Structure 1
Amino acid sequence: MEILVFNNLTRSKEVFKPIDSNQVKFYSCGPTTYNFLHVGNARALVVGDLFHRTMKTLGYNVKFVRNYTDVDDKILEAARQRGIHPKQHADEFIRECNTDMECLGMLPATVTPTVSETMPEIIQMIEDLIKNGYAYTVAKDGGQEVLYNVPKFKDYGKLSKVHLESLQHGIRVETDGHKKHPSDFVLWKPAKPEEGWSWDSPWGKGRPGWHIECSAMAKKHLGKTIDLHHGGVDLLFPHHENEIAQSEAANGCPFCNNWAHNEFLNFGSEKMSKSLGNVVTIRKFTETYSGAILRHILLSVHYRSKLEWTEDSITRAIGEIERIHEFVIHLFGEHKKGTTPASEVEKVKKAHEDIKREMANDFNVPGAMGVFFGLIKDYNRMAKDGYSDDYAFELTEVVNFMKAATGLIHDYPEEILRQLNMARKALSGTTGAGEAEIEELLVQRKEARTAKDWTKSDEIRNRLNELGVVVKDNPDGTYTWSYK
């Protein structure tokens, strides 16, 4: 199916046309592995996974490259404080990042390169930039520093849409007297003895600047020109602008045809960042509430819209996930057979096509979920009188598509419902009683009700209420329970 993507290069929604009809070349900027990731980082990771999933589900062959930045000032400093080699520190947090991504239900990327393993390609690209007249060397810190000559690249600013003179410098861009222009940025920096990690190069021992890594990794694994580049909107300038300048000056051709950026996740009115102190790590959140809830929250609004994190976000996600997975359990379980009008079956088929169109329309998960919840409402109405196998088949096709394209439907729905129950407990602040104690009280209550000992039954219900547990008695004599 044809996909529409909002291309930040043109600031318009365009038909996505891969260079090679047999393969989409997709690059997404990955994390810097110096510490545990926070839920703001999770949004970029999940959105990249969404693009990957949706394109695959709609029939595209995708080569997806997401890097790890394992060479960085913060990594060097963290390793120095721990008294270990920087690579050991970075590798440890790559493993932690992989654990977090698995918990978020992410598909593996096709390739996950690191900066440290791409050093020959980085050095070669810097050499090409010097040879082509876009980079120069200066003496610094007892060695040689290589800088990119920004004014030399006439198209600088074509992504961020501002003139060179008015660009605001990112915090990683130094401005001092040894540069030809204040916007010139570092491609290679000389090694300092205390940093503990460096590479040989034509300019002496050192390590790369921040921006050159992605240009080199994208070229190595995807070629000189790629189809789609993704990252958070905070990377649009200077990082992505500098990637374009580097790659096009080194390679002599366009770098990327489509640029997609996800908006920030905000707590109230402030962007989530470690500098603001309002940080919740992915690990802490998922251990308390589950990866399913975090993924649902992150995809609850369109990726190009700011996501305002409020106290109601978790509660709302729990209710929606519960509705989805109770529906899946009922659909795939035993159901009452009946005759379904052909119009209802056709309605499901049309909804399936509508969902596909929403997902193909710039990865519009909220639009697709709106159609899907409408199907669940119809199903709950139909299930009372029973339904036909062809109706169940068409619904199953929708479920399988939504599961593959969004990752919001999970393999073990009963386990998801259990996680939701525990999330409610954490959200309510209920402490003391565990599941085993509650189940034992429920067995005693059922025995009391069978023996018509209503006094004891009420006493147990009151005790459960004190523990923050709500019991629902079903017409068939069974019961369900949840934390308040």
Structure 2
Amino acid sequence: MLPIVQVFNNLHRAKEELKPMTPGQIKFYSCGPTTYDFLHVGNARALVVGDLIHRIFKALGYQVTFVRNFTDVDDKIIDRAHELKVDPLVHSQKYVDECLKDMDSLNMLPATHTPKVSDTMPEIIAMIEDLIKNGYGYVVNGEVLYNVPKFTEYGKLSKKDLESLQHGIRVEVDQHKHHPSDFVLWKPAKAGEPSWESPWGKGRPGWHIECSAMSKKFLGKTFDLHHGGVDLMFPHHENEIAQSEAANQCEFVHAWVHNEFLNFGSEKMSKSLGNVVTIRKFVETYGGKILRQLLASVHYRSKLDWNEEVIERAISDVERIHDFYLKFEKQGIGTLKVDTKEIEGVVAKMKEELANDFNTPGALSHFFSTIRFYNREFKDQAPSPEIHQMIQEIIEFTSLATGLVHHDAHATLEEARTARGIIAGKGGDNDQSVQIEALIIERREARANKNWAAADKVRDQLKALGVVVKDNPDGTATWSYEK
């Protein structure tokens, strides 16, 4: 029997059981990026949270249909393309490709479907026709608008009253609107902009209708779960609900989950505020595995402050995981048997945490307990086949559910050491990182052999390189540059 998953459903502002429409299957949509520029690490949080939800359902045994779109037709894309004097669709495709590279660097599983707006025009036009037919859309000079007051449940997600709403929509208020809250479904064509034929003349869709049409195309009129950043709750997700339920005459989504902001200082990270660190720049500097660790180790509904401390903590966690994994692989299977009560049922405990509103920090706490157990009990001898298999299963589950165990442990540790050097202002010298790691291993072996003089000599060599070594109670050692 599959675990029951509890999610914090923002539609009701409460944690509740997610009841799949089809037992054992999850249909899930996550709002993807607008591809007009390189993505920043704030965008990465939404991407990684979507990937974690995908991974967690798979790890819990569910069959998942996961749709994450690319918005490749949008005002921002057109404006940037005009600045650069390039075709907007060519420009957006360039950044779709760059986004895919960033996703790969973050160890993200491929989504089941990754539709683009430009490939979904027949479905968008058909949905707008349904809205007009049902009395929720109206045409003014080739522009189609949504009649917000007619949808009496408007505001049920954002909990906003219609008359007091602040209209953060992407287009200027049109004097021909029936109500100030009405939003655009179809825009008339303008010179230099991509456009498509429609019953209302050539034009292109508004922002909100795009996701309604793409989700319906691949998931149907009603599906289980919709995810996005908390900044999308209004107006985007509110408008998705209004469109989809008015067009399809049925419930749109059973549960809505939203990840919190990544904060830079006291403000959320965004291009418009100018406080941007791109995914590409961070990965080139510190590595994608560090960024994923940073983003995945905090609960998705908690705000995450961006600072040097959280980067250092992520580096330490990556080192801790992969020092253990490297040792586990190197030691292999032996004969040592110990009391395994401490790690019995770890996978079941991790599943329980993950089924509780995708609690990755809680699940990782059990994984780190396993690491402490292994480092304490198997300093010099390898575990028996039974214990080795038990730990192997914990590693494999953690890898699938979180994407935080990387099988190229040597390369991962080198990436982490380089990142540590950079953040300490040492420039991330790869040769020096390799030298330091070799000395750390040499000192660990000397200590294991109780050759204290040799261990002290290596410590002095490390000190000369500006490295401080901290010996942990479980027999491991971590290092950092002197500040």
TM-score by length of 2: 0.89
Task: Report the Cα offset of residue 275 of structure 1.
Answer: 1.8
Whether 1:87 aligns to 2:107 is no
Task: Report the Cα offset of residue 177 of structure 1.
Answer: 2.1
1 CA distance for matches of 2:233 and 2:132?
Answer: 25
Contact 1:266 1:309 in 2 (8 A): yes
Match of 1:249 in 2: 246
More moved, 347-356 vs 91-100: 347-356
Contact 2:290 2:315 in 1 (8 A): yes
More moved, 376-385 vs 37-46: 376-385
SS at match of 2:207: coil
Task: Report the Cα offset of residue 481 of structure 1.
Answer: 8.2
Structure 1 residues 236-270: Cα deviation after superposition (integer angstroms, max 9, x where no partner): 01000000000010001101001110000001221
Match of 1:274 in 2: 271
**Letter of the aligned partner of 1:245 in structure 2?**
A
2 CA distance for matches of 1:378 and 1:442?
Answer: 24
1 CA distance for matches of 2:400 and 2:478?
Answer: 30
Contact 1:157 1:163 in 2 (8 A): yes
SS at match of 1:33: coil
The 5 Å alignment of 1:122-141 reads: 122-139=124-141
Contact 2:421 2:428 in 1 (8 A): no
The 5 Å alignment of 1:74-473 reads: 74-139=76-141, 144-195=142-193, 197-334=194-331, 337-341=334-338, 344-384=339-379, 386=381, 387-431=383-427, 434-435=430-431, 439=435, 468=466
Task: Report the Cα offset of residue 218 of structure 1.
Answer: 0.5
Q: Which runs of 5+ in 1 are unaligned?
A: 447-453, 474-478
**Letter of the aligned partner of 2:91 in structure 1?**
H
Task: Report the Cα offset of residue 314 of structure 1.
Answer: 0.9
Contact 1:338 1:385 in 2 (8 A): no
Query: Percent same amino acid among aligned pairs?
Result: 60
Whether 1:21 aligns to 2:16 is no
Contact 1:290 1:423 in 2 (8 A): yes
2 CA distance for matches of 1:432 and 1:59?
Answer: 41
SS at match of 2:184: strand
2 CA distance for matches of 1:397 and 1:432?
Answer: 34
Task: Report the Cα offset of residue 172 of structure 1.
Answer: 1.5
TM-score by length of 1: 0.89
The aligned length equals 460
Task: Report the Cα offset of residue 347 of structure 1.
Answer: 3.1
SS at match of 1:116: helix
Contact 1:337 1:388 in 2 (8 A): yes
Task: Report the Cα offset of residue 285 of structure 1.
Answer: 0.2
Contact 1:300 1:366 in 2 (8 A): yes
**Letter of the aligned partner of 1:181 in structure 2?**
H
More moved, 388-397 vs 24-33: 388-397
More moved, 385-394 vs 422-431: 385-394
Given the superposition, is the C-alpha separation of residues 436 and 294 from structure 1 closer, same or farther in structure 2, using an over 3 Å criterion?
closer
Structure 1 residues 356-379: Cα deviation after superposition (integer angstroms, max 9, x where no partner): 100111110111111211221122
Match of 2:446 in 1: none
Task: Report the Cα offset of residue 337 of structure 1.
Answer: 3.7
Task: Report the Cα offset of residue 432 of structure 1.
Answer: 9.0
Task: Report the Cα offset of residue 468 of structure 1.
Answer: 4.7
Contact 1:267 1:309 in 2 (8 A): yes
The 5 Å alignment of 1:40-79 reads: 40-79=42-81
Structure 1 residues 259-304: Cα deviation after superposition (integer angstroms, max 9, x where no partner): 1100000012211111221100000001100111111111121101
Structure 1 residues 103-137: Cα deviation after superposition (integer angstroms, max 9, x where no partner): 00000000000000000110110011001000101
Task: Report the Cα offset of residue 389 of structure 1.
Answer: 2.0
